[in-house]
Amino acid sequence: MLILASGSPRRRELLTQAGLDFSVEVADIDETAQPGEAPAKYVQRLAVEKAQAIWLRHKDGDDADFESGSDSELTVLGADTTVVCDGVMLGKPVDQADARRMLEMLSGRTHQVLTGVAAITRAATVSEVEITQVFFDLIEERELVTYLASGEPMDKAGAYGIQGYAARWIPRIEGCYFNVVGLPLARTLAVILRAGEGPSDALPPL
């Protein structure tokens, strides 16, 4: 039994593309960055906290599969993504003006997309971070206005989606494409596998 602790439609699509059967339960946690927290630590911490929130919901509840320890062993997957430019984290824009600010910052520059991935099972908690370099061309004002008017930037970290209109500004990337979409599939599957095996270097089980 795999639960995705995220409401992201892109993550759902990617897991489905990878052939996984799963359900979705959104974790309600405080996503405020801690003072001085590095972007990689931030996304890794949130990924673990999201997975923990759903894990504890089932552990403390009356979940028959969890209590029986049957073959439908519970695995909870958490993930969090941020865009980083010049060390500044760019989350989802709060309004159109904020989206414009982010896109103007990214225009003609290189930035990083970081995704923390965490999987929790009875055996272990395992978490890792994927980093992809993304190169942006200069964004012309008329294209920026069109993009902002589409509403597409509003639910995406950094105010853009590589799989949408913004692809025209991205000549190349270095690293995992799926990470920029929202979930690095190969690393995610490896994390789920390691959590199920209970590796010696994993975080202590809950």
Q: What is the pLDDT of residues 120-136, one digit of tens each?
A: 999 999 999 999 999 99
50 with 5: CB under 8 angstroms? yes
- Any idea which residues carry the catalytic annotation? 80
C-alpha–C-alpha distance, residues 111 and 75, integer Å: 32
Q: Which CATH class is domain 2-197?
A: alpha beta
Kindly report, residue by residue over 95-124, the tens digit of the pLDDT: 999 999 999 999 999 999 999 999 999 999
CB 2 within 8 A of CB 193: no
Q: Are the beta carbons of 156 and 81 closer than 8 angstroms? A: no
Burial level of 99, CB count in 10 A (0-12/13-18/19+)? buried
Domain residues of the chain, as ranges? 2-197
Global pTM exceeds 0.85: yes
pLDDT of the residue at 202: 42
**pLDDT for residue 71:** 36
Q: How far is CA 193 from CA 39, 98, 100, 110, 154, in A?
A: 25, 39, 40, 33, 33
Please tell me the least confidently modeled range out of 62-66, 72-76, 94-98.
62-66
Q: Count of alpha carbons within 13 Å of 54, Cβ hemisphere only?
A: 27
144-180 tens-digit pLDDT: 999 999 999 998 999 999 999 999 999 999 999 999 9
